[in-house]
Every structure is written in structure tokens, then in C-alpha cells.
A and B are shown apart, each in its own frame.
Chain A
Amino acid sequence: MALKAVILIGGPQKGTRFRPLSFEVPKPLFPVAGVPMVQHHIEACAKVPGMKEILLVGFYQPHEALSRFLLSAQQEFKIPISPRQPFPATHRCHQMLISPCLAHRYLQEYAALGTGGGIYHFRDQILSGGAEAFFVLNADVCSEFPLQEMLEFWQGHRDAHSFVILGTTANRTQALNYGCIVANADTQEVQHYVEKPSTFVSEIINCGIYLFTPAIFQHIGKVFQRNQQELVLYPYLGEESSNGWQRAEVIRLEQDVFTALAGSGKLYVYKTDGFWSQIKSAGSAIYASRLYLNQYSKSHPERLAQNKPGGPIIRGNVYIHPTASIDSTAVLGPNVSIGEGVTVGAGVRVRESIVLHGASLHDHTCVLNTIVGWDSTIGRWARVEGTPSDPNPNDPYAKIDSETLFRDGRLTPSITILGCSVTIPAEVVILNSIVLPHKELSRSYKNQIIL
């Protein structure tokens, strides 16, 4: 069976909740459990037999960190990259082979085309080589990726032109934040789909991972034509710019396609109990890290640090990059990721945190619920601490909250984030604060954004 996968990576206007981390690196490349967010998707797709090619679709400019990722991933997997430009100058593609049979490519949208518009625009690329079905995955989710199970579920149907949405269970309150799916209990056919309803519809939510057949493009095409007709009839409606044809091509899978397909007998939901979370904010990156680090004990045990004589004390699941230098009296974990070239001094405590590459933690520091930015420094005895935004551990279906930054005029206590190249002096406390890149602090801060 010939399969492909498309990973939707969005673009710079999206993911503002991930600032200031997203100033340095596109969100899909942010390291979660030690590897770029989107690499977990790639690894999961590569495991499915029959997978021929993985395409990344988004609207980041290639001269940004994306090229660096493709380049460094090339170095890690020792693959050559040869840029290709089969299309006019507005499109650029980079080709990367991860193995003789699995190709990767980045297809850049010329503008934000929505979750449906991007794949529609590149439908020829996606279907080239005779793909019988293809997965579409949103980059900003963290998941067990039960792709093989979705495939088997789809193959069990009589209808070879049906589509599958991966769904999971949320609690009644939080389900309203997602796409809600009502399905037939026996057949799992989707009877009703609403994106972010204001009243309760269903606890089954859309995970942002789909399995499509080429027939999907006919349905998306209908939406496109309808958009075009509306623009012809009402050319001056809407507050957008005069670039009318651009609007017609903005197609959202959820609102425009799934809502219409519900009840048509074409759309099915495959429900999973495996772990799943959106990654919208920095707090959710730490939560997602924990989920992936837990998974490593089965999928990549070599990525988990072990207690060794002469090494630091490891508690729970911890990822340490091989080039990091950790004092033997440091205590790390649970849920800690230490990046490339990081130095951790004597008697340092790190828990529930991500330390990005090049950072330096001096002796006796205490880092809790924090993301320490690239090349930052934390002075001796400093305490850098955030507040976790984890879902309620007593509710198996609770999801991480997308908290607003401010509530009642005050900053909501959340993960502390140090942007890149931030310097924290010795002996201070930084609590529930966000420090923008290249700041050199001189005192303690609490519950503040430091520009």
C-alpha cells in the first residue's frame, strides 16, 4: 500500500502564544523531549509500512530556522539536501532523503491558506507516485500517533473513499475548546461536527490527525469553488484586502470540510485512549515533553538518562544531550530535557523544565517549571520557578488549559520562560515571569513580563 504523510507546520503569524520562544525558532521546531516537535511526527510516520514520502506544508520563509532544521536533520541522518525549484519563484522546496525509500520535502505556501487550502494547493505533489491514502497531521499536537491502527480501521470499511479523523475524549467543559465529533456508536461514522461550539455537543474531540484518500480533494475543491462564486457575487464583502483570489483559497478543513461531510457517510472517527495534547503555549511544551519522555521508555529507551556512578542524580524521565556537561552532584528530573552543550553546575536542581542548547546553570541553582532559553545563564543560588498549568491529574480526560496571559488585569501564574541569551544574576528569584531575549536582569522579579 502506497502512503504519504503531510505535516501542517503553519507559519510565523500563527503560534503567538508561543512567544518569546517562537522569536528564535518556528514553533514546530521547538524541542520537545529533546527533539524538534515535528520530529516526533516524522518518526511516527516513518514507522508505518508503505510510507513513501513525508511532506511539510507551511508558510515559513525557507531562510529562517526551518532551513537550519532541515540542514541539521540532514547532518544527524547524514543526508544531502538539494534545493529544487520546480515552481515559479514564490515556491521553494528542499529535498531531503531520510532513507532510500522515505523522502521529506517542505512545500511552502505563498500565504496562509488554512488547514485545507495548503494541501489542496499541493494536491498534485501529495498524490504523485500513486498514493492510495495519506495522513495529515497538525504539527502542534503531541500524540502517540496510532497511525497503523487508523489505517487498519480504515481498511476495515467497505468504502475505500472514506476518511478518518483521530478522536479522543475530553471532559465536558474543555471539549468546547476543540472540534467536537458526534459519531454513530456502532459504525463510528461522524454524524455531526462542530468546531469550538459554545454549548456542549460531544466529549469526543478532533485530535488534528487525519487519514484521507485522494477523494478528499473533490470535497475541498467544492468549497474552493463555492468561495470563488461568493466572491464573484459579493466582491466587496469582508474586511480583507482586495486580494480576492487569495481568500477563496483559504480553506479550513474543520469548519469548511468536516462540517459539510458529517452525516454524508464519508467521514469516520477512530477513537484513541493514547496520550494526546495540543501544544499551544510554553506550558504545554513542558507537559508534552513529559508525555513523550514517558513514551521513550518503550520507544526510545536510549534517549532516557540513567543513574551512573560519577553522573548526576536522575529522577524519573530525563533527556540529556550527549554534549551537555552535568556536575555529578546535580539532581535532575522528573520531566527534564537538557539540550546541546548545556552546562549544569554543582548542586543544581532542575525539575519539570526544558533547558535549551548552550544554556549554563551555575552552582546551587534551582530551576522548576521553567523553559531556559538558548545560551542563557543563571547565576549561583538563583531560583527560577514557574507555575505548572497541567491538566487535573484526577480527571483522565482533562486536557491542558489554554490559559489567557492575563486574568483580572494580572498576569496568570504560568511557566517561567527565559528567552534566548538572558542573564539571571546570582541569588535572585524569578517567579512566574517571562523574560524577553537578550535581557540582563539585575534583581528579582515575580509575576511579570520583562521586555
Chain B
Amino acid sequence: MRALILVGGFGTRLRPLTLSRPKPLVEFCNKAVLLHQLEALRQAGVSHVVLAVSYMSETLEAAMREQEQRLGIRISLSHEKEPLGTAGPLALARDLLAEGEEPFFVLNSDVICEFPFAALARFHRQHGGEGSLVVTRVEEPAKYGVVVIEPDTGRICRFVEKPRVFVSNKINAGLYIFSPGILKRIQLRPTSIEKEIFPAMAQEGQLYAMELQGFWMDIGQPKDFLTGMCMYLQALRAQHPEKLHSGPGVVGNVLVDPSAKIGANCVIGPNVTIGAGVVVEDGVRIKRCTVLQGARIRSHSWLESCIVGWSCSVGQWVRMENVTVLGEDVIVNDELYLNGANVLPHKSIAESVPEPRIIM
């Protein structure tokens, strides 16, 4: 089977992290987002994945060459010269996708969940329609594409993108499977699959929905990245508790790379991810944070709801909170207070940021 992953654009909402790396290569719970998806696809029998990219494609390509061997999966890049939206890339990759004459998966690169690819493939074959998408229930549907479903058949009657009034609490989770026939509907031009293709398919009764079990998150912005991390770690606790960290000073769900070092008298967790080669010095308190590879957190600091970028150095007695995001290689001097600071890469911070703002 084949799959297309819509990697697309600049990942602007996950800046400053995406200024250093393409979004699929940002580590989510110590593994690149893309890798979470590739591994799940591989498990469902996918042998060829097409990445529809437009930004930092060389970096992505190089990283993927490494993974191809390891995963035993063929990876092609479909390079958009101009942004083609959410449907256009399918047209661009038409030849690659239609090759096998069997259904292919399409997914957004921002999505993290308990990927149900095998179940989705079965569901799709059963109803015989042209397309199936995964839906999930959320509290605030107006931010997403909302789906109204016929209860017995699972057929989608209506598809409304970001509705102004409440329509349903089931939203498009960004995971699809399509029969090759869909490619006839899509032209090679910027096209939105949600606004242009799906509503038409729904009207013709060709679109079906499968409800997702388990957690789901669009991790395209830091706040949701952290929420998604909490959900993922909770699922990990239920399914693979041995992968989580335990020991003195560890509270709740904590994931620590084996090469990371944690000092004495620290209290880490709940909901913390510590990446490879990270050094956490003595007396540090971390809650609800992701600390990316190579960062150093110096002694007696206190972090809550933060993302610490690759190779950052956070000084002693620093307090960071309220979705503070440090880009790559940021230095935070001792004794500062960062509240909701969004710091671009390679910056040195010498003054406190008492109210949320962006530091360029």
C-alpha cells in the first residue's frame, strides 16, 4: 500500500522550532513526528510513502534517506514549487499514488494519535465508497472541519469547515484513505480538500467516517504540542509503562532518553519529556515540558509548560512558565524569569520577560 503525507508549508505556528527544522523532524516525545507516522504506516502494511513538501525539503530528504533503510519502507519526495493546498499535492503525486491501483492513505503531518490505519483500511473496503476519513470528538469543534454522520452507515452527510454555529462535535482528524478514483476530482492547482473536494463527495454519498478510539491532537502550535505530549504519555502509561522513567524525584508520566543525565534533588514530572544528551543539573523542578536534544538546564531552576529547544542552555535559578518556547541554541542567563516568552534561535536572553512576548 501507499501513503501520502502532507508536509507542505513553513510550520509557522510551531516557530521558533520550525525555523531550525522542518516540522516533521521536530521530536515529539523523543521521536520525530514523521517517524511516529511512518512507523504506524509501516505496521499497517504500507511499503511506499510520498512526502508532499515545499519547505526545507533537502533537510527532510537527507533525514529520510537514513530512515528508509531502518524502516524498510520506500520514501519519495513530491516537491511543490508553489503551495498546492491540501488537495493539490495529490494531483502532483498522481503517478506515484495511482501506480498500485489500490486505496492509499493521506494524512496531515501535524497529527498525533493512536494511528488506526489497519482498521481504517478494513472500514474503507467494507463500504466501497470513494473515501473514508477518521473523525474524533473534540470540545471546541469550531477550530476544525466538522462532520455530520449518518449513524448506521457511517456515511458523511455534511462537511462544514470551521463552522460559525455548532453543527457537530465530530471533527476531521486529518487521516484519510482514498480509492484512486478520487484523483479524477483534483487538478494540479492550489486546492483545499476540506472546502472543495469533500463537500462534493459527501453530497454524492461517497464519503464515510470512522471514529477514532483513543487520544488525538494537532500539534501544530506549542500549546497543543504540550497538550498532545500529556495525552501521548498517558497512553504510553497504559500500553508500555516500561518505557516511562521512574525513580526518586520522578512524578507521574516522564519520558527520559537513556543518554540524558538528571542531577540530585530534582523533581521531574508529571508530563515531562527529556531528549537525548540533555543535562539537568541539581535541584531542578520541571513540569509539563519538552526538553529537546542536547539542552542543559542548570541548577535550582523551575520550568512549567515550556518547550526547550535543541542545544539550549538555561541558567541557574531561572523560572520559565506559561508556554515559553526557546528556539535552537538559546542561552538564558541566570536568575531570569520568562513568562510566555517565544525566543528565536541563537538568542541570548539577559533580561527577564515578565509578560508574554516574542524575542527576536
Chain A residues at the B interface, C-beta cutoff of 8 Å: 346-349, 351, 363-364, 366, 368, 380-381, 383, 385, 427, 429, 431, 446
Contact = CB atoms under 8 A, between A and B. Distances in A.
5 contacts: A349-B316, A364-B302, A366-B300, A381-B302, A383-B317
Given A364-B302, A427-B285, 14 more contacts: A346-B283, A347-B283, A347-B300, A349-B300, A349-B316, A351-B335, A364-B300, A366-B335, A368-B335, A383-B302, A383-B317, A383-B337, A385-B352, A427-B304
B341 to A, nearest CB: 14
A385 B337 contact: yes
A364 B302 CA distance: 9
A383 to B, nearest CB: 5
For chain B, the bracket of interface size reads 10 to 19
Interface string B319-353: 10100000000000001010100000000000010
B265 interface: yes
B122 to A, nearest CB: 49
Contacts of A349: 300, 316-317, 335
Contacts of B285: 364, 380-381, 427
B354 interface: yes
B337 A429 contact: yes
A364 B286 CA distance: 13
B354 A431 contact: yes
B282 interface: yes
Contacts of B18: none
Nearest to A413: B354
B299 interface: yes
Given A383-B302, A383-B337, A427-B302, A364 B283 contact: yes
Contact of A346 (B265, B302, B304, B321): B265
A203 to B, nearest CB: 32
A346 B265 CA distance: 10
Contacts of A427: 285, 302, 304
Nearest to A382: B302
Contacts of B265: 346-347, 363
Contacts of A364: 283, 285, 300, 302, 317
Contacts of B316: 349
Closest 9 CB pairs of A and B: A366-B317, A347-B300, A347-B283, A364-B300, A349-B317, A381-B302, A383-B319, A364-B283, A381-B285
Interface of B: 265, 282-283, 285, 299-300, 302, 304, 316-317, 319, 321, 335, 337, 339, 352, 354
A429 B335 CA distance: 13
Contact of B283 (A363, A368, A429, A431): A363
Nearest to A366: B317
A380 B285 CA distance: 10
Contacts of A429: 319, 321, 337, 339
Contact of A431 (B299, B302, B317, B337): B337
Contacts of A366: 300, 317, 319, 335
B340 to A, nearest CB: 12
Contacts of A381: 285, 300, 302
A36 B299 CA distance: 35
B296 to A, nearest CB: 17
A178 B302 CA distance: 44
Residue of B299, B316, B319, B321 contacting most chain A CB atoms (<10 Å): B319
Contacts of A446: 354
A347 B302 contact: no
B303 to A, nearest CB: 10
A368 B354 CA distance: 14
Residue of B283, B299, B300, B304 contacting most chain A CB atoms (<10 Å): B300
A347 B354 contact: no
Residue of B299, B317, B339 contacting most chain A CB atoms (<10 Å): B317
A381 B283 CA distance: 9
Contacts of B337: 383, 385, 429, 431
A346 B299 CA distance: 11
A390 to B, nearest CB: 15
Nearest to A383: B319
Given A364-B300, A429-B337, A347 B319 contact: no
A380 B319 CA distance: 13
A336 to B, nearest CB: 13
A436 B317 CA distance: 26
Contacts of B354: 431, 446
Contacts of A363: 265, 283
A427 B352 CA distance: 17
Contacts of B282: 347
Residue of B282, B283, B321 contacting most chain A CB atoms (<10 Å): B283
A309 B321 CA distance: 35
A446 B352 CA distance: 14
B259 to A, nearest CB: 25
Contacts of B300: 347-349, 364, 366, 381
A427 B337 CA distance: 13
Contacts of B319: 366, 383, 429
Contacts of B283: 346-347, 363-364
A368 B337 CA distance: 11
Residue of B299, B302, B337 contacting most chain A CB atoms (<10 Å): B302
A226 B142 CA distance: 80
B310 to A, nearest CB: 25
A232 to B, nearest CB: 59
Nearest to A429: B319
A383 B339 CA distance: 13
A346 B263 CA distance: 14
A347 B335 contact: no
Residue of A349, A380, A381, A385 contacting most chain B CB atoms (<10 Å): A381
A351 B317 CA distance: 12
A414 to B, nearest CB: 13
B264 to A, nearest CB: 10
Nearest to A446: B354
B17 to A, nearest CB: 25
A266 B285 CA distance: 67
A386 B285 CA distance: 22
Contacts of B317: 349, 364, 366, 383
B216 to A, nearest CB: 31
A368 B317 CA distance: 11
A446 B265 CA distance: 28
A65 B337 CA distance: 38
A347 B318 CA distance: 12
Nearest to B299: A347
Residue of A364, A368, A381, A385 contacting most chain B CB atoms (<10 Å): A364
A366 B301 CA distance: 9
Contacts of A385: 337, 352
Contacts of B302: 364, 381, 383, 427
A115 to B, nearest CB: 40
Contacts of B352: 385
B249 to A, nearest CB: 13
